[in-house]
Amino acid sequence: SALYASLFQDDISVDVYNNLIKAVDENLDTLNRYVDIKKKFLGLEDIHMYDLYVPLTESFDMKIPYEEAQEIVLNALKPLGEEYLGLIKRAFEENWIDVYENEGKQGGAYSWGSYDSHPYILMNYKDDLNSLFTLIHELGHSMHSYYSKKTQPYLYSGYKIFVAEVASTLNELLLINYLLEKADSKEERVYLLNYYLEQFRTTVYRQTMFAEFEKLTHASVEDGNPLTAKEFNDIYYDLNKKYYGNSTVVDEQIALEWARIPHFYSNFYVYKYATGFSAASALSQKILTEGKVAVDKYIEFLKSGGSDYPLNQLKSAGVDMEKKESVDKALEVFKELVDKLEKEY
Ligand SMILES: [Zn+2]
């Protein structure tokens, strides 16, 4: 099958793909419960897809200057140990980061570098929560690259996309954990919870829905059915109904959304966002509960670069993505955050 052929290059079994879809399908009630809570917060009778992007706190905003962000990052990443923190400090002190917007500078953010240099980060820091998350995210990529390049020969120093978002997401999870612990007003907690639940929804639920769309469309062709825009529309609309139907008004226009997702030109790519997030979620829980033992394994993972297949690397780090429970556990984190948001209403 097209799916088998695509996963083969990373030595990923079709089970991993199917388990992800199955686990998410079994947890759609939590997604709909989350949307229902949003509806209550926003005071709406009906909620539509476009309402999901509206913030829940009207006047609350967080202003986080870069100096403060550095301090927060260092505190949030404490669970990763002194050595990791030392590298983050070097990144700050030795100017690995091009921080602010500038005339002619590219937008967005990324981490880059060469085999024999330290990593470099380009970002456009804007004193807000989103920038803080971007900073800690890119630092995750940088540390992964730093450890891999220091440890591996040139040939194996690059890591695969399947594991690429683990280190960055894990940092984000430690950050949200830290910020929620410190938050001292209801508005701040709601603001943080909403921010992170949206990240979760768009990374795990939404990307898995995309993955299911790809699975269904390819399977349809393999069954000998031609695909036209009408078939794409129907499959996509039905999926939206299945995912959001118990809480959201699924407008007919959403049927066309598949046409604006550029990732569909790279077949079976988007599921890696959801599995990466799930793996990071499981590993961050381990780091927070088991401490040093889990941290040591995790640092070994960062050092392993592209020297083994992704599933083996993650297994050594402590998470088996061939087991459905690994995704279930991540979805439990989502459920806990939804519970917290519900309590704030
Ligand atoms: Zn990233």
Structural domain contains residue 54: yes
Last residue of a domain, one of 125, 145, 169: 169
Residue 123 shares a structural domain with residue 205: no
pLDDT category at 61 given cuts 50, 70, 90 is confident
195 with 287, same domain: the answer is yes
Residue 156 C-alpha to ligand 1 middle, in angstroms?
A: 20
Q: What is the pLDDT of residues 291-316, one digit of tens each?
A: 999 999 999 999 999 999 999 999 99
Read off the pLDDT of residues 135-167 as tens digits, 9 standing for 90 and up. 999 999 999 999 999 999 999 999 999 999 999
Ligand 1 ion local residues (Cβ < 5 A) = 168
Cα 106 to ligand 1 centroid, rounded to whole Å: 17
Please check whether residues 294 and 339 belong to one and the same domain.
yes
164 alpha carbon to ligand 1 midpoint, in Å? 7
Same domain, yes or no: 134 and 191? no
78, 216: one domain: no
Q: Which residue did the predictor score with more confidence, 61 or 286?
A: 286
> Residue 290 maps to which CATH number?
1.10.1370.20
Could you list the residue range(s) of the whole structural domain that residue 117 is in?
66-169
Among 169, 196, 230, the domain-final residue is: 169
Kindly tell me if the per-residue pLDDT of 52 is higher than 80. yes
> Percent of the chain scored above 90 by pLDDT?
94
Q: Which of 109, 138, 169 is the last residue of a domain?
A: 169
pLDDT of amino acid 217: 97
Q: Are residues 285 and 325 in the same domain?
A: yes
Which positions are annotated as active-site residues?
138
Q: Using the mean position of ligand 1's atoms as its centre, give its distance from the Cα of residue 138 in Å.
A: 6
- In a domain, residue 211? The reply is yes
Average pLDDT over residues 317-330: 93
On whether both 221 and 244 belong to a single domain, the answer is yes
31 domain-assigned: yes
| Residues in Cβ contact with 306 at an 8 Å cutoff, skipping those fewer than 6 apart | 148, 152, 156, 157, 158, 159, 160
Whether residue 93 is found in the same domain as residue 241: no
* Cα-to-centroid distance, 302 and ligand 1 (Å): 15
pLDDT at 333 over 80: yes
Same domain, residue pair 249 and 291:
yes
Residues 318 and 272 in one domain: yes
Residue 178 covered by a domain = no
Is residue 176 assigned to a domain?
A: no
Number of domains in the chain: 2
Residue given tokens 């992800």 in the structure block: 20
Quick check: is 175 in a domain?
Answer: no
Q: What is the 3-state secondary structure (H, E, C) of 45-108?
A: CCCEHHHHHCCCCCCCCCCCCHHHHHHHHHHHCHHHCHHHHHHHHHHHHCCCEECCCCCCCCCC
| Beta-bridge mates of residue 48 | 249
Could you write out the DSSP letters of every residue in 28-51? Answer: HHHHHHHHHHHHHHHT-SS-BGGG
- The residues with which 111 forms a beta bridge, in sequence order, are 121
Question: How far, in Å, is the centroid of ligand 1 from the Cα of 229?
Answer: 32
Other C-beta atoms closer than 10 Å to the C-beta of 340 total 15
| CA of residue 299 to ligand 1 center, whole Å | 18
User: Is the same domain home to 281 and 314?
Assistant: yes
Strand-by-strand arrangement of the 97-98 sheet:
97-98, 120-122, 110-112
Identify the CATH number of the domain in which residue 132 sits. Answer: 3.40.390.10
Inter-residue contact 160 to 306 (CB < 8 Å)? yes
What does the pLDDT average to over 212-220?
97
- Averaged pLDDT score across all residues of the chain: 95
Asked, for residue 180, whether it belongs to a domain, the answer is no
- For residue 339, tell me if it sits in a domain: yes
Same domain, 197 and 238: yes
Chain segment 245-291, per-residue pLDDT in tens: 999 999 999 999 999 999 899 899 999 999 999 999 999 999 999 99
